[in-house]
Structure 1
Amino acid sequence: MTAIELAEHGAGLSVPLDDAVGRALVASGLVEATPDPWVPGRWQVRAGGKVGMATVTVPGGGTVTVRIVPKVPIARLLFLLGYSLNPKGWRNEEVRLEEESELLPALARLFERQAEEALRQGLLQGYRTTEETSLVVRGRVREADQIRRHHGRLIPLEVIHDEYTTDIAENRLLLAACERLCRLPGGIPGDVRGRLLRLSVRLADITLIGRGHESPTWRPTRLNARYHKALRLAELVLRGASVEHRPGDVIVNGFFFDMAGVFENFVTVALRDALTGSGGHCVLQATHHLDERDAIRMVPDFVWYADNGTPRAVVDAKYKVGKPKGFPDADLYQMLAYCTALNLPEGHLVYAKGNASHAAHRVRHAHITIHQHALELDQPPAGLLVEIKSLAQRLVAVIP
């Protein structure tokens, strides 16, 4: 089995690979791979914006393991991920992961700690609505299903009832995360894997979420407060571990995050949080149209509206840290279209800090100014939130 280690948006490597395995890497979509034009039997492999690890297998052929290391520190990446899910729960979260320097082991260790803490007082119980076929009346009869399936018969009965049980969404999510981490190919230390297996044993009576099925939804309440941190981490695990599919004859099994999505989610959620108390409301991924016939659809990452529905500000997040010549002009044209359609005098582009600093561009004959901001990710969480708050204050300052 071939192992390849790459840096996010880093230089490509020339790796000896069978053609079938090289084509499998291309089909996986995890990395960029092309045959080396100078050396037969080798492929040029380069990482893009995805970070994590996965195995790519050609049935009956070879297997290659790909590990992509993020540019930002692991603890910072986990903060960005966690804050996007729950700003208040992660604002002062201290992630001490000195033992691990890679994403998967770090997340597995952190999840195991929080899950163990959540289950320290025993499994959480709650009510679960169950629909079943029964020989006795339990709860109430589902009349439509009864007539459709058993017309003219007294039994069996189609019933629906609420059952007080441990087999609820919260425990199912914890079990699914434990099971998924244990099945990932390598990367998790033996001591962490052992504790995850013991957690799975404690959850043995819980129904496992089947592959391809959507995760159950849960709602944070006072009753499940001790589960909150573990559940947020379980959602991260299941989201990142969704890289498990068979595109054609290729089997991909791994754990990856798209850094562009991570950055976009953090910026928009943190900005929405920073604007709390400033009036109006914020919409992430708001749908608008450029033309009067609503034929040209556009979806800005973030729009802040007044109470009457009038747009106040528009923001787009761009994760482009590796651009050697600064920010691409295409982003400016995109933001100009947003400002024109929303009738706004200013638009804001937020980048992960690369080679360019803040800039402002006044568009000729349009009375529109486009701002480009650079967010420094390699700093403590408090500093990141201060920069977001500064952007929020700029948005508030331009309101008439």
Structure 2
Amino acid sequence: MAVVELDELGSSQHGLTAEQGLRLARSGLVAATPSALVPGRWDVSARGRVGAARVGDVELWVRPKLDIARLLFLLGYAIDPKGWRDDEVDLATGDELVPAVANALCRLTERALRRGLLQGYLEVEETSYVLRGRLRENDQLRRHHGRVIPLELRHDDFTVDIAENRILLAAITRMLTAPRLDRHSRHRLTALRPRLADVTTLVRGARLPEWRPNRLNARYHTALRLAEIVWRATSPEHAPGSVTATGFLFDLSRIFEDFVTVALAESLPLHGTGAAHRQFPCTLDESSAVWMRPDLVWTVGNTPAAVVDAKYKREKPDGYPNADLYQLLAYCVALGLRRGHLVYAAGVGEGNGEPSRHLVRRAGVEIVCHALDLTAPPATLLRQVDELAKELTER
């Protein structure tokens, strides 16, 4: 099997057959083109996803520059800002992505199941010869045409086959299919499956069942949130091309956008009265033919007061990409705002620094570019977001 290893923002040449190169290109996970100078070599570049995947007989591994623990913090916070416990995940800094997440999933699942499987009531519909629960009269008449037995029943069953346990089992099953899973992690994950033997396995293509945090499932909370992260990372939608790929992949642009918008939506109400809207729908033209969706709009009295667009791009010496400025300018003009905010991910070790400001000629619109230091500890990173929220509410 051919192995292709890349850095998050890097590119390199690899010896691949024409079929292997085309499969990689069609997967959409990376950019792959034949080398113009060396026959049999392909130029492969990362496209914003990190993790491991298997495309045909090619194993792809894209290393994140961001620390794995910080990456999972961004993911977990976006899922549940009040419930994510970064300290409980406790990843080693030097671990590779897949083994690190697998070990964390094992540890948190073992902790959740230490006092046995969580049980709850599940509504069950079944055909039986013994009356139990309530009779489903319409089904009884339609299926049995007036016969007394068998009975079509509906009843509540106190069982371990509930949403929380199904989510854990689904994540464990998916994690076992991830490329680059080490032997120790595979053994621990496999050992957990018999403990969930009475839990229904989700069929291929099914969605995760919904669950709600409460005091009864409190010991499951962090494990369930990590399980949701695993499910998303191993879902087929992470292979957008025409070739099927299996793997464990994160879209960094989506992760950063979700984190920024969720964290700001949590912080903004602490500094002003208004409402935060993610993916706020608006139109550029009077005829409403061109629709736009800024990442976050802060409204006061149903009137837009601030707009934010998040971009996972590291700062460069030459400045920020002009396309982002044009996009935010369009948002400001359409929403009638005199100021807009771009939020970028600062480069590793570059820190946060002072925002750069661009006053657009003849438009009177100021574009403020902020950079969040994702390498900072979670508390420091959230303080950066809080300072940004404070600036957004100042009028």
The residue type equivalent to 2:7 in the other structure is A
Q: Deviations over 1:79-133 (max 9, x none)?
A: 1111111212336636533374211111111111111111111100111122334
Question: Cα distance, 1:284 vs. partner?
Answer: 1.4
Aligned with 1:351: secondary structure?
A: strand
| Other structure's SS at 1:89 match | coil
Q: CA deviation at 1:360?
A: 1.5
Unmatched segments (≥5 aa) in structure 2? none
1:1-400 superposed matches below 5 A: 1-10=1-10, 12-57=11-56, 63-90=57-84, 93=87, 95-98=89-92, 100-185=94-179, 187-243=180-236, 250-277=243-270, 278-306=272-300, 308-321=301-314, 325-354=318-347, 358-398=355-395
TM-score, with normalisation over the residues of structure 2?
0.92
CA 249–357 in structure 1, closer or farther in 2 if over 3 Å, else same: same
Moved more, 297-306 or 276-285: 276-285
Further displaced range: 308-317 or 32-41: 308-317
* RMSD, aligned α-carbons: 2.3
Q: Which amino acid aligns with 2:8?
A: E
Number of positions where the alignment pairs a residue of Structure 1 with one of Structure 2: 390
Q: In the aligned structure 2, how far is the partner of 1:74 from the partner of 1:341?
A: 39
Are 2:14 and 2:41, in contact at CA under 8 Å, matched by a contact in 1?
yes
Contact 1:243/1:256, CA 8 A, preserved across alignment: no
Query: Do 1:3 and 1:65's aligned partners in 2 also have CA atoms closer than 8 Å?
Result: yes
Residues 298 and 121 from structure 1, CA distance in 2 versus in 1: closer, same or farther, beyond 3 angstroms?
same
Structure 2 counterpart SS, 1:97: coil
Other structure's SS at 1:295 match: coil
The alpha-carbon deviation at position 190 of structure 1 amounts to: 2.4
CA distance in 2 between counterparts of 1:81 and 1:16 reads 34
Gaps of 5+ in 1: 58-62
Is the Cα contact below 8 Å between 2:12 and 2:43 reproduced in 1?
yes
Q: For 1:292-315, what per-residue CA distance to the aligned partner results, in whole angstroms no more than 9, with x for missing partners?
A: 333221111111222x32222111
Deviates more, 1:166-175 or 1:33-42: 33-42
Letter matched to residue 325 of structure 1: D
Matched-pair contact (CA < 8 Å) for 1:50–1:257: yes
Distance 2:365 2:144 in 1: 67
Q: Distance in 2 between matches of 1:99 and 1:78?
A: 12
Preserved CA contact (<8 Å) 2:284 2:292: yes
Higher mean alpha-carbon deviation, 371-380 vs 134-143, is at 134-143
CA contact (8 A) 2:85 2:222 kept: no
1:343 positional shift: 2.0
Counterpart of 1:60 in structure 2 is: none
- Kindly provide the amino acid, as one letter, of the partner of residue 303 in structure 1: V
Deviation readout 1:204-235 (Å, 9 max, x if unpaired): 11001111111101011111111000000000
Q: In structure 1, what is the Cα distance between the partners aligned to 2:274 and 2:49? A: 35
Q: Which one-letter code corresponds to 1:6 in the other structure? A: L
SS in 2 for 1:93: helix
Q: How far, CA to CA, are the matches of 1:159 and 1:195 in structure 2?
A: 40
Cα distance in 2 between the residues matched to 1:67 and 1:349: 31
Shift >6 Å, 4+ stretches: 244-249
How much does 1:155 deviate? 4.3
Equivalents in 2 of 1:104, 1:92: separation in Å?
17
